[in-house]
Amino acid sequence: MNTKEWLDKVAYKTTMQIGPEGDPLSNVYKSNFDDSYITHVGMEDSIKHLADREITDELTHGVGFSPLDGQWYGWSHRAIYGFKVGSTCKKGDCHYIAKTDEGAEAAAIEFWKDRYHLNTRCEGIVEQEGEQYFDIKWDYSPTVPNETLRGTLSGCLHHIKPLGRGEWVAKTMDDAKQMAVDFNSGVS
């Protein structure tokens, strides 16, 4: 399906506030299903991959169903992936959400581990504005490209999401939809 035909089927044009109050309104497409943002007018090529897959049903910002291949899709500007009955969720997948507090902490630490982040660890939980975060710290390696960071301590607050199912298999189309929702959250 071409992008124009797809947009005519799933969206409508309107304006919305994108930037700070006082900025001009932006011309956008919103979903016929739930009025969520799809793309800016003039950036239609950025959603061609959705039209190509004919993701036309229950289309929201980042999740929708394709009758063409019978899959639920989750996406962001970074990635897209389809799910169906039999799809799996394993530790390390973008749509994996730990089912225990210990697993969630381990996943947050693992997210920040790489060759430039040494001794990655959690130094507790911090609460800010009613949200909880793991306080993740690391030492920068002597090979990090930014020489001013080499050997220094740094860190971030990693948002604590609600617990999920851990590793599991989609047994129903509702399960496949949940995997798509979790994928969208994981890559957004």
Taking 50 as the pLDDT cut, the residues of the chain under it are none
- Are the C-beta atoms of 116 and 142 separated by less than 8 Å? no
pTM of the model: 0.86
Q: Give buried/exposed letters for 80-107 (b at 16+ CB in 10 A, else e).
A: bbbbeeebebeeebbbbbbeeeebbbeb
Residue 147 one-letter amino acid: E
For position 172, what pLDDT does the model report? 98
Give CA torsion, residues 50, 54, 58, 61, to 10 deg.
Answer: 0
- pLDDT, tens digit, for every residue of 86-123? 999 999 899 999 999 999 999 999 989 999 999 999 99
**Separation of alpha carbons 124 and 129, rounded Å:** 17
Judged by DSSP in three states, 182 sits in helix
- Are the C-beta atoms of 51 and 3 separated by less than 8 Å? yes
**Separation of alpha carbons 109 and 120, rounded Å:** 6
Judged by DSSP in three states, 20 sits in coil
For position 188, what pLDDT does the model report? 85
- Domain range summary for the chain, segments of one domain joined by +: 3-92+166-187, 101-159
Question: Residue 77 has what DSSP assignment?
Answer: S
